[in-house]
Structure 1
Amino acid sequence: MSFLQKLASAISDNQSCLCVGLDPNLDLLPTDVQELDKSDVQKVERFLKTVIEVTQDHCAAYKPNLGFFEALGSQGWELFFRILDEIPSDKIIIADAKRGDISSTAEHYSKAFFEQTEVDAITLNPLMGFETLEPFLADKDKGIYTLALTSNPGAADLLLQKLSSGQTISSYIAQQLSYKQENSEGAIGMVVGATQAEDLRPVITEFSEAPLLIPGVGKQGGSITALADALDDHLGLPLINSSRSIIYAGNDTSHWEQAVSESAEQLTHQLRPITKKYV
């Protein structure tokens, strides 16, 4: 099954375009998990396994953020592999790695994630040039999500700067990704922030069939209504990511598992106007 087929199936079967971000911050773990007489890695494992168990009925995808696993050292990498095994097979798994390098380094990043793990896609940074994407595009069963218009304020420093043509760098990236997709087996998607809804349409118009990974809903304050308006004419399938507002929803309660589940269910319901466009 190609990446795009699996993506379509995951959204349709789960009636959801929600992606749950797995960002295990030791300082934010629920109190009863922090108080366990276990190592930090064991606490994170217990936490993430529970998060996956209680959210899997409400989402189409999971996005483990590699920085949080790498911060745990070599055992964090081992934990990453164990967590991948916990994610149901009907979900899309996106490695949030934001790698971006040239030549054999990119080739080895591709081997590391696409040959040594069971992830379906990876996030990439294109700012060293579009050649850095090529090693990830040989397999139709895999996808990439390329940073195009990120959700953080720093997007204004580079991505929203204008070129002499009048295009923003974000729009130029989207245009070039569209051209590259024409000759690539792997699926090329884009990371675009829900917090940038007012600047989003010119970017996604340049690559209207791109699958989108959309952070910024939840703690970052992105508007679902504004996002739905921006996506009105977009053809590519969206995954709308939420991390902290879901996985740490129950930190102030003794029944944090229920709060996490309810937060995922509630966001899935709020995203229904977007989801129904694609299922």
Structure 2
Amino acid sequence: MNKKTSNLKLLFIVNPGSGKGEINFSEVIGTYCTDKQQDFELYELKKNCSLAKIKAVIEQSGAQRVIAVGGDGTLKMVAECVLETDMPIGLIPAGSANGMARELNIPENAEEALHIAINAKPKKIHAIVANGELCIHLADIGFNAYLVKKFDGLPHRGKLAYAKAAWMALWNHYKLDVEFKIKDQTIRSKAAMVVIANATMYGTGVKINPEGHLDDDFFEVILVKEYSVMEILKLRFTNLPFNPKNIESFQTTDLSIKTRHKAHFQVDGEYIGKLNNVKAHIIKDAINIIAP
């Protein structure tokens, strides 16, 4: 019989709607933890589950670690429930967008990710609040947010669906007239999109923000001036760098963005809507994340 893995009580918050549904993560977790004699509890998110309900489940469980099983949106939801506390949060990547798992070097293999979630030490990282929305990974206004909206509206996922969404977005999206203030500096430009970056890369590994760190005293604002079909496809299918001629980067702890016309906005892969004003600020030591 295997030795008990740890004395910690674990709560797994599983999003059954994440990813392609090819793996039953509740079964995988149950088998793994039972085999390791690990004290655990599973909670599967219901459709339109409220933060108040998730907070109540966490409190009632008595768990010492909460593990989000899903994509970036699931992690964001769990993090909102324990924001600015010492509760450690683990992650089992199971979504269609697993940008933070890649950022934290958490493997896609479920058993390897489970081993890390149970045994690795937590560390504090910063987060951003953008228009009241918690942002752990990346938020952006403009082209990519429009692409997220188009992609979410398609009946099928995968590379072909993404390519279709990219073409639809390319032919229907126009450049933004943007203005944003950082400290005493005002930047005005035409742009394909503006990225508010806590992390360094999109889910495919393409580094939009190579200077970023999850635990430094700033977040980055990335002004992407031009886009092309190749730049679009890089976001999902490669880890090739963007053309540096098309990008400017700024560091700040707070930000105000204005656009002449309303533009699409997304946070951590979740489409928020159209707006023409974004305000963002950093929250230091916001999340106690478990990572290798």
TM-score (norm 2): 0.25
The structure carrying a bigger helix percent of its residues is 1
TM-score by length of 1: 0.26
- Structure with the greater alpha carbon radius of gyration: 2
